[in-house]
Structure 1
Amino acid sequence: MNLELWRLSATELAQAIRSRRVSAREAVRSVLGRIDAVNPRINALAAVSHEAALAAADAADAVLARGEPVGPLHGVPVSIKINIDVAGEPTTDGVRALQHNVAAEDSPLVSSLRRAGAILIGRNNAPAFSLRWFTDNAFHGRTLNPFDAGVTPGGSSGGAAAAVACGMGPIAHGNDYGGSIRYPAWACGVVGLRTTVGRVPSYKASAPNRIVTNQLMSVQGPLTRTVADARLALAVMSAGSPLDPQWVPAPLEAADSAQPVRVALFTGWKASRVDRSVVQACEQAARWLQEAGYAVEEAEPPHFEEVSAMQFHLVMNDMRRAGVAFMRENGDDALRTALDHYLAVTPEWNRDECLDALTRRFNIARDWAVFLERYPVLLMPNSWERALPVDDDQRSAERVREILLAQSPLLGTAVLGLPGLSVPTGMADGLPAGVQLVAGRFREDRLLRAAEAIETKAGFNVTNALVKAGAT
């Protein structure tokens, strides 16, 4: 094949390797070459496993040569975020104090990727403790948005999004506690799938005691350049594990998934800063969905403002009880400043107030379930503002309050444990544009179908967009 292999999707690359039109070694060498060319500037990957990846590729080729059965990602390079466990590697979480925190075993999704034949090429960068929408830390350095170094690549999975956008592997792992997959995907022009809580098993032996809000809201998922690759990655990552008692063996595809459904279009937020480009992207996506047979109506999900605020209030009060002291001691200066601002704008709740919020959360979840029965897909922005300027959360507590309002479409869905998908729609004034789709629990299939309809109409290719912009 004459095409540079790093440009291929995971689906295309896996098929080419299975058919032996290319070798796994050729595929991995191409991606490693792309990493060597681009990563020194973008800094999306905090570590690159050159020798181990090539050895794994040779082993993958040997399996094919013996005619043995292979998995759906056989020979495909993938990268893993620095905040989950890969056996034999440090789980640094972007923190220098954790540089010797070497994992004894793989997290479940890493094991699943290996069983599927994927080849681990490196670790995606993230902010310290994955607690900012800006991917920068004092240990591994700053990840740049490949389109504009002056704006964030998103966080906390900004390394994953930038890596995929630049061709440093077709699939990157991320996780999403309050938008950490969807926001970077949107900022970098790639596909990002936040899965339902319980869809992909979450566990790391190096830090097994997950706080309550993390259990309720945080998920693992893929960032990719195409919707087909997100579907493929989801099928692999969602393999079960008893290490996560919340995992549910829910089907990946329901009988009605191919049918166009009613879509709720929500762009009527009254925040002080609503960028017209994010509304235009939603309006365009709505027209494309209508052309694909979907019925689109304007509708606001229930208790939107309340549930969005609840996410951060619950998380920060949970962290006040367990986590803040450790993060202050071991985090970097940017993390400490952001944390100070987070806490300054978050009311301090007592035990009963926290329990009252959890009780209220369940009732709101019921109202959303009813809403999503009427509108099986919700279409809205990822953020009400354009991608934020670098380190915007360092300015003041008041600015952080505004940022939290801007990120409300990410926060409200996270607190309810729902799946969400960010899909690009094109470019707007030099930056990627895109939308977020949300569905009921374990209905990722509906998100993927709707995203495919948008992707087909948009015809957006992030690699071509970067070349056109002169970014890579």
Structure 2
Amino acid sequence: MTGPDADLDHYSSAVAMAAAVRERRISARELLDLHLARIEEVNGEVNALVSLDPERAHAQAAEADERLARGEEVGALHGLPFAVKDTHAVAGWRTTFGSPVMADHVPDHDDLMVERVRAAGAVVVAKSNVPEFAAGSHTFNPVFGTTFNPHDLTRSAGGSSGGSAAALASGMVPLADGSDMGGSLRNPASFCNVVGLRPGLGRVPVWPMRNGWETTSVAGPMARSVEDLALLLSVLAGPTPRVPLALETPGSVFAAPLDGPGTAGLAGLRVALSVDLGGAFEVDTEVASVVADQAAVLTGAGSRVVDAHPDLHEAEDTFRTLRAWHFQASYGALLAANPGRLKASLADNITAGASLSGADVARGYAQRTALGERMRLFFEDHDLLVMPVSQVPPFSAEQEYPAEINGRAQVTYLDWMRSAYVISMTGCPAISVPAGFTADGLPVGIQLVAPPSGERRLLEVAHAFERLTRVGERRPSFRRGRQELPTG
């Protein structure tokens, strides 16, 4: 190799970067340096990546190059810089969960997801910023501060995987991981004009876990394109004896090309499009307009689009009940040992969980079972559900959450996330794909929801939509507010 591939830059696809490293058109060290330079350039404004460790990253990159030089077989992510969400353990690497009570925590093990990423050859560069204990869809915490949206540095990047989404949108890393209970993969992807997949239950096994049968939160991939996301999913997915709910399907099924002729992934598709699930939640008028506009896009590609939605009326109570139960089980002892040290909204959720009875939790799971069955029947008549990811565009980074939507008050930090968390309660896979922008130039994604175990088909459809619209190719301006939008 005479020098790094001049055709690669920090916005090249992960697929292209991985191929260039394998073919030795660029070394892992050179690829890392390319991204470290970008981090140095923009992370000071965006604050997406934390606990950066260039020395350790360089050691990993050097080992990656040495493995290639020895002619060893390498993994699918070999040499690719990677950011790990700061709620996922990396052995020997500071992992704070965005909380002062964990600010000095250094785990002695890798989470399973990190094991798989590192075994596939990825070079961990940093952790990605999160809200405290991943609670809420706006990324800020007392340890590292606020992550800002690279499309408008006065706005939220979403959360809880906001650091991952902002880093991807900024070109700081080609791939990142995330997790999703109420929208934490999908919401920041929508806010930052990238792609985030909430997989179905058991698709991406998580270990270790306090409760091996927990199904409320899932882990998943984030990327700048559906093709890159599928590459990461091929590494994250697959069976393991350590996780009782892990699906047996190997991750390799997601590695095959997603391409079909033209927009073949959309032709003949039976699409149910719903802006608000029949009035189940308030949606900002500009977001609603972007979602509604997709009917013409899909119809033009040969899909059969109808206005329809499943009945998910139990999802509200189900989510809030099971979420509070999960938070109390996970953090109740921590709150008791550290009174007044967790953010108020998180502490309130933990306290609410302590007041739940066995009958409350049983009701939540019975309702969730009913929701899953109703979605199964819904998908007998439809192949895909299309709806908003987030009910609002990116809001001011100075707010914890949007106070109102179209003049309607949002009382808690969860109210404005219904469009995401009602889908969480169905167990269906759902992906956020870039779809448009508001008049202020703020990204809006659409949520594509598929039947259970339908991730492969969902990725094919999302890829076809992405190629048709190319909205995700728009790069951020790092502006500050509407006044800096270009005119003319």
TM value normalised by structure 1:
0.90
Match for 1:459: what amino acid? R
The one-character-per-residue Cα deviations of 1:401-422 (angstroms, maximum 9, x if unpaired) are 3653431121112122221100
* Matched-pair contact (CA < 8 Å) for 2:395–2:402: no
**Structure 1 Cα separation of the partners of residues 330 and 317 of structure 2:** 20
**Structure 1 Cα separation of the partners of residues 117 and 125 of structure 2:** 12
- 1:105 offset after TM fit, Å? 1.7
The one-character-per-residue Cα deviations of 1:412-464 (angstroms, maximum 9, x if unpaired) are 12122221100002322221121011112221112211211221122224563
Q: In terms of mean alpha carbon deviation, does 235-244 or 34-43 score higher? A: 235-244
- 1:96 offset after TM fit, Å? 2.4
- 1:296 offset after TM fit, Å? 1.5
**Structure 2 Cα separation of the partners of residues 222 and 467 of structure 1:** 24
* Matched-pair contact (CA < 8 Å) for 2:238–2:246: no
**Structure 2 Cα separation of the partners of residues 129 and 431 of structure 1:** 27
Correspondence for 2:19 among 2, 15, 18: 15
- 1:280 aligned onto 2:308: no
**Residue 312 to residue 244, structure 1, CA distance change in 2 (3 Å):** same
- 1:131 aligned onto 2:135: yes
1:203 is paired with a residue whose SS is coil
**Structure 2 Cα separation of the partners of residues 42 and 460 of structure 1:** 21
* Matched-pair contact (CA < 8 Å) for 1:289–1:453: no
Counterpart of 1:460?
471
* Matched-pair contact (CA < 8 Å) for 1:377–1:439: yes
**Residue 329 to residue 151, structure 1, CA distance change in 2 (3 Å):** farther
Match for 1:20: what amino acid? R
Counterpart of 1:450?
461
Q: In terms of mean alpha carbon deviation, does 241-250 or 264-273 score higher? A: 264-273
Structure 1 or 2: more helix by fraction: 1
**Residue 281 to residue 318, structure 1, CA distance change in 2 (3 Å):** same
Aligned ranges for residues 291-440 of structure 1 at < 5 Å?
Answer: 291-302=300-311, 304-320=312-328, 323-324=331-332, 326-327=334-335, 330=338, 336-339=343-346, 349-390=356-397, 392-393=399-400, 400-401=410-411, 404-428=414-438, 429-440=440-451
The one-character-per-residue Cα deviations of 1:132-183 (angstroms, maximum 9, x if unpaired) are 1111111122111112233211111100000000011110110001100000
**Structure 2 Cα separation of the partners of residues 392 and 415 of structure 1:** 27
* Matched-pair contact (CA < 8 Å) for 2:81–2:124: yes
Counterpart of 1:69?
73
Q: In terms of mean alpha carbon deviation, does 376-385 or 26-35 score higher? A: 376-385
1:151 is paired with a residue whose SS is strand
The one-character-per-residue Cα deviations of 1:106-127 (angstroms, maximum 9, x if unpaired) are 1111111112111111100101
* Matched-pair contact (CA < 8 Å) for 1:305–1:408: no
* Matched-pair contact (CA < 8 Å) for 2:371–2:425: no
2:215 is paired with a residue whose SS is helix
- 1:92 offset after TM fit, Å? 1.4
**Structure 1 Cα separation of the partners of residues 107 and 122 of structure 2:** 19
Match for 2:210: what amino acid? N
Match for 2:373: what amino acid? R
Counterpart of 2:230?
231
Kindly report the root-mean-square deviation, in angstroms, between the aligned alpha carbons of the 2 structures.
2.9
- 1:231 offset after TM fit, Å? 0.5
**Residue 395 to residue 46, structure 1, CA distance change in 2 (3 Å):** same
- 1:28 offset after TM fit, Å? 0.6
Counterpart of 1:154?
158
The one-character-per-residue Cα deviations of 1:233-290 (angstroms, maximum 9, x if unpaired) are 00011133222221112366599x9754211101144267421222222223332222
- 1:314 offset after TM fit, Å? 2.1
Counterpart of 2:183?
179
**Residue 331 to residue 110, structure 1, CA distance change in 2 (3 Å):** farther
2:84 is paired with a residue whose SS is strand
1:149 is paired with a residue whose SS is strand
- 1:309 offset after TM fit, Å? 3.5
* Matched-pair contact (CA < 8 Å) for 1:95–1:332: no
**Structure 2 Cα separation of the partners of residues 161 and 51 of structure 1:** 24
**Structure 2 Cα separation of the partners of residues 362 and 296 of structure 1:** 28
**Residue 385 to residue 309, structure 1, CA distance change in 2 (3 Å):** farther
* Matched-pair contact (CA < 8 Å) for 2:332–2:350: no
**Structure 1 Cα separation of the partners of residues 337 and 395 of structure 2:** 27
1:15 is paired with a residue whose SS is helix
1:54 is paired with a residue whose SS is helix
Which 5+ residue runs of structure 2 have no aligned equivalent?
Answer: none
* Matched-pair contact (CA < 8 Å) for 2:152–2:477: no
